[in-house]
Chain A
Amino acid sequence: MAASVSALSPGDDQRFGLSRHVVLPGPLRLDGGGLLSPVEIGYETYGTLNADGSNAILICHALTGDQHVASRHPRTGKPGWWTRLVGEGRPIDPARHFIIASNVIGSCMGSSGPATIDPSTGEPWGMRFPVITIRDMVRAQAMLLDHLGVGQLKAVVGGSMGGMQAVSWAATFPERVRACVMVASTARHSAQNIAFHEVGRQAIMADPKWRGGAYYESNDPPAAGLAVARMAAHITYLSEAGLTEKFGRRLQARPDRPDGAKSFGFDADFQVESYLRHQGLAFVDRFDANSYLYITRALDYFDLAEEHGGLLANAFRGTKTRFCIVSFDTDWLYPTAESRSVVQALNAAGAAASFVELSSPYGHDAFLLEAPEMNRVIDGFLRAES
């Protein structure tokens, strides 16, 4: 482990701050049997590690998220993806906490993935990049913490795929995690979850521009396929009630018809079609199609019970980590029942667990939106540490 860095402010040390990138020698032993070396990680830190190193909080991102949890995204220019929870005066606050957010391996925002260079060939990995798991992502984050000199985390916090990483952290490195916050997530991918992802992957791979994943040199990625993948997935992040409220059956405005008209063709007549097409197109500007394949695969492989002899409670046996689980009533991607089964396993293992199902009209995306009750719960949970 690296020497203690506790007294340093972010400015003194190149390891800390926004838009950091590190190449760690590795090797990282992967669940699939291979070794990854070197291990590149794009990350950011906010705030300062205190003298006894007790205020570090790791934020884990979702499928298409990144390390820019509370800073402007370099490609889209949009504010950080979880500024409602992370930031000044928020439950996770750089004034009090040392916050770490890293891009998962397999992704495309600076961490090792199919678009990064394979040192043995000097070319992008493409589909030769090893298939990774959620636990591999977590182990890479542990290597980053070693590099940063963070021994134990006050908390690991994540929503959706970030929540899977959070529980995987608690199960894989129990002694390094004092508290775990899992929001709108699950301990395993269901058949329906896998089915939706397979639609997305097939859309990408059916795009002739995908070319077996070797599209980097031509700089002509399978944008159409990736956009369709995003459109299909985006529906699963919303609720039917939310879609109805936002769009209903309303038609797109046209220059000659401000309240819209059917084209009797296949333009985006309905507002919901236009919205989804926009979501798809905006996505391809910031995300790599191969990364989408790899990360959805990691999600589909995720089954925390399977990693522990088929019994989820075994993942938490003897743990001293405190858990806080939050679900949303309209989330049909990772419904409350999934959270409840994690809670039951925690109870069976005698772990300190809190769980609440919150009400929101917004479906799975609720965790990223204004959710005062979620903030109140997480704030109280994080402050409770003795």
Chain B
Amino acid sequence: MLRPDLAIIAAHVARGARVLDIGCGDGQLMAALRDGAGVDARGLEIDPTNVASAVARGLAVVQGDADVDLAGYPDKGFDYAILSQTLQTARAPDQVLDHLLRIGQRAFVSFPNFAHWRVRLSLLWGGRMPVTKLLPEQWYDTPNIHHVTIDDFRAFVRQRRITVEGSWFLSRGRPTSAAAANFRAEHAVFLLRR
């Protein structure tokens, strides 16, 4: 079973496409794309244990850091560049997004929404940094260093004149409407093009 945001991405990648999965983990999405849609998938992953697992699954995965190693990839070398649950961990998310849209004809970006009502409640009533199922780490050990909301992201792409070709919002793994997404969605997936 793919994570819900990955399932959305997998459902919308064209058969036989060339894909770069940035922050690919142990290659779950890549394997699904390869096996299910004949996709030529490449990956970039920072954690060596994950890389070893992915390569052992027969996937072409390179150990590296999205903040550093994307510069070496050629322009438009891929049909899609995918960044799932990694944007909020990047040191320079804006530059990572620039690379994504340079390397891929299109880019999928998924991230947890830090304006979800449960996060808001936690901060408003508890006065504590939220620790939820989706954001399980404490403030001192979270890899999420750039907290972003859906409305933040919408403003960002508008300002950068990036075209949004599709967007999907998830609450407890189920689709939720775009209208109240910034309040109700735990997760967002955007399909972008420059």
| A7 interface hit (Cβ, 8 Å) | no
Residues of chain A from 289 to 342 with CB closer than 8 A to chain B in the complex: 322, 324, 340
Give the shortest distance, in Å, between A88 (CB) and chain B (any CB).
20
Contacts of B72 in A (CB 8 A): 344, 347-348
B56 adjacent to A358 (CB under 8 Å): no
- 10 residue pairs of the A-B complex, CB under 8 angstroms, read A348-B72, A352-B42, A354-B51, A354-B60, A355-B63, A355-B64, A356-B55, A357-B48, A377-B56, A384-B59
- Residue pair A350, B74 in contact (C-beta under 8 Å): yes
Q: How far in angstroms is the closest Cβ of chain B from A34?
A: 38
Residues of chain B at the chain A interface (Cβ within 8 Å): 40, 42, 48, 51-52, 54-64, 69, 72-74, 77
Q: Which residues of A contact B58 (CB under 8 A)?
A: 380-381, 383-384
What residues of chain B lie closer than 8 Å to A31, measured between beta carbons? none
Residue of A nearest to B68 (CB): A340
Pair A376/B56 contact, Cβ less than 8 Å: yes
Nearest opposing residue in chain A for B51, CB measure: A356
Are B52 and A353 in contact, CB atoms less than 8 angstroms apart? no
- Count A-side interface residues using an 8 Å CB cutoff: 24
| Known contacts A354-B62, A381-B58; A376 and B74 CB within 8 A of each other | no
Q: Shortest distance in angstroms between A197's beta carbon and chain B's nearest beta carbon?
A: 29
Interface majority SS (helix, strand, loop, mixed), chain B: mixed
Contact A322 B60 (CB under 8 A): yes
Q: In the assembled complex, how far is the CB of residue A91 from the closest CB belonging to chain B, in whole angstroms?
A: 10
* Chain A positions 344 through 378: 1 when the CB is less than 8 Å from some CB of chain B, otherwise 0: 10011010111111110000000000000100110
| Chain B: minimal CB distance from A307 (Å) | 21
Nearest-CB distance from B156 to chain A (Å)? Answer: 27
Report, nearest first, the 7 A-B pairs whose CB atoms are least far apart: A384-B58, A380-B56, A344-B72, A356-B51, A355-B62, A352-B60, A354-B55
* Cβ contact within 8 Å between B52 and A350: no
Q: Report the bound CA distance from A352 to B30 in whole Å.
A: 14
Known interface pairs A324-B55, A343-B62, A381-B55. Does A356 touch B48 (Cβ–Cβ under 8 Å)?
Answer: yes
* Contact A380 B48, CB 8 Å, known A322-B60, A353-B62, A357-B63: no
A225 to B72, CA, bound (A): 44
**Would you call A379 an interface residue if the criterion is a C-beta within 8 Å of the partner chain's C-beta atoms?**
yes
Which of A355, A356, A380 has the largest number of chain B CB atoms within 10 A?
A356
Q: Which residues of B contact A380 (CB under 8 A)?
A: 55-58
Per-residue CB proximity of A235-256 to B under 8 Å, as 1/0?
0000000000000000000000
Q: Shortest CB–CB separation between residue B86 and chain A, in angstroms?
A: 18
- Which of the residues B56, B57, B69, B77 comes within 8 Å of A350, measured between beta carbons? B77
Residue of B nearest to A383 (CB): B58
C-alpha gap A356/B63 in the complex (Å)? 5
B187 to chain A, nearest CB (A): 29
Question: In whole angstroms, what is the CA distance A343 to B72 when docked?
Answer: 9
Bound-complex Cα distance A152 to B133 (A): 51
Q: Which residue on chain B has the smallest CB distance to residue A350? A: B77
Q: Please, which residues of chain B bring their CB within 8 A of the CB of A355?
A: 51, 61-64
